[in-house]
Structure 1
Amino acid sequence: MSSENPVETLQRNLRDLMRQNARAGRVVVAVDALDADAASTFADAFAAAIEVEGTAVFRESLADHADDVRDRLVAPFRSGEPFSGASAAPADAVLVVSGRFLHTVELRKLWNFSVWLESNPPVGAARPELPDAEKHYLSESRPRVAASVIVENSDPAHPVQVFGDFC
């Protein structure tokens, strides 16, 4: 049995995947889920995995439908100006944001890399009915398609990357 922590292993793998396309500069990452707390916990661990490589990391949790995210966070972060109570980001830094509804058409273009967290009920358990806002988001924004990476997070101690292609 391996002594590897599955969460840390996945976080390192995702960090390395992010770095394949964004080697340097100010990078913005979104962690999106229907469960804001799960997104926040996952984003904290992802930020820690990035920090281990010596990169400056900034963390923000967003409220639903954070329409000001571009002006309040992303634009100042990318330009190296102070933002949201934080000091200016160095030339090579990562901003990790978490929340719900982060893959809307208006927001998805802000992220250099994004994670969609899924959580499925145990096998045989009934799937709970989603509120209308969540149903609309899933059908209109299609976060599973828009995200850079899909992670099945039903067991947060053992998250698994899901490959959404069918080839």
Structure 2
Amino acid sequence: MVEELADGLQETYRSQLTRLGDPEAAARAAIAEFGDADTVTAAFFRDSPWRRMAVILLATGPMMGAVWGLGLVSAQMWNWPIPLSVRIGYGVVLVTVAGTLLAVVREKRAYRRTRTATLAGAAALIALDAVMLAAVTTVPSAASWPVAVAISASMLRITATVHALQKCCF
């Protein structure tokens, strides 16, 4: 993508140089036609695969929360033998991951930081889904259709996230 960007700018410059004959005027005209560095950088970030992944993970969050909320209420999770500190810790990690992904979506310049934050957020969501899957399989009262839907949703998100990470990273 960067090579195409550089090639496009160079081609625009050559075209302007042929038309104008002055290297400085050609450079200014090429930048005016092609866009300044801030505009090009913003466009690059808007189309970043890391940003797209963060948007998708954020967009699916409320649906996952609703599905798991219904499942946990139907399974009467308040009666489960899970310490309150573990429940609070899970919520803190979940809110932190959402905040990290939100920061990725809002980022305009730091591509490496965007990549790292998205990888961390995706890995954390996979881990959080795995923790929920482990928790519901250890509690006998968790067998209900809403929990089955939540389990399926988490398995689907884990699979889709791993697939998306493989596509972006490898």
Give TM-score, length-normalised by structure 2. 0.26
Q: TM-score, normalised by structure 1?
A: 0.26
Q: Which has the higher strand share?
A: 1
Larger Rg: 2
